[in-house]
Amino acid sequence: MKEKSINIPIRICSFAELPEKYQQLVESAKQQTQHAYAPYSNFRVGAAVLLNNGVVVGGSNQENAAYPSGLCAERVTVFAANAQYPEIPVRALAIAAFTNGAFLQKPIPPCGACRQVLLEVENRFGQDFEIILYGENEIMLIKRASDLLPIQFSQNNLNNC
Ligand code: THU
């Protein structure tokens, strides 16, 4: 039996250490939390993507009385961006979450289903994008969506390669 390890580089920084364009993207994601429709969880997630053309598209979680019909902020955001700008690759994504009157202290990680969708966005455009997970105490930077899903299912598997 062989054993393999997967090493994923993660950078941790403060808001002040972020480049200005990422600070702006985080501010957009934070603003988006206030547009969430989250009457069931009261967990308000906001996201914002920066596209290659400089446009920022935001989104938030949209819940439903039939719980599984709701959608996470990350998917609302990338689907909206890809629907409006189908030819423009995503350059970066920021995520923030607000609950009980405050932003989360720790970085908010995307759920598994969102990771799968983010991976598809990278594959679709053939361009990695950086992911900025906002927390009040620290911010986590992940170089590419693919790093969030190291053992992944993609079109390659469909094509048996
Ligand atoms: N949620 C997101 O929008 N993004 C995440 O990464 C995790 C969870 C939403 C789904 C649901 O509306 C609420 O947060 C509680 O799970």
- Sequence spans of domains, the chain: 10-151
Question: What is the reported pTM?
Answer: 0.96
CA-based torsion, 6, 74, 101, 135: positive or negative: positive
Backbone angles phi, psi at 54, to 5 degrees: 90, -10
Q: Which residue's CA lies nearest to atom 14 of ligand 1?
A: 43
Per-residue pLDDT 10s for the chain (161 aa) are 999 999 999 999 999 999 999 999 999 999 999 999 999 999 999 999 999 999 999 999 999 999 999 999 999 999 999 999 999 999 999 999 999 999 999 999 999 999 999 999 999 999 999 999 999 999 999 999 999 999 999 999 999 88
Q: Which two tokens stand for residue 71?
A: 């959608």
Residue 73 CA, ligand 1 centroid: distance in Å:
7
Best mutation site among 30, 41, 75, 132 for ligand 1 pocket (most ligand atoms within 8 Å of CB): 41
Active site (annotated) includes residue 74 = yes
**Fold classified for 10-151:** Cytidine Deaminase; domain 2 (3.40.140)
C-beta of 35 in contact with ligand 1 (< 6 A): no
Of the listed 3, 20, 27, 74, which one is catalytic?
74
Residue 15 CA, ligand 1 centroid: distance in Å:
23
CA 153/CA 65 separation, integer angstroms: 31
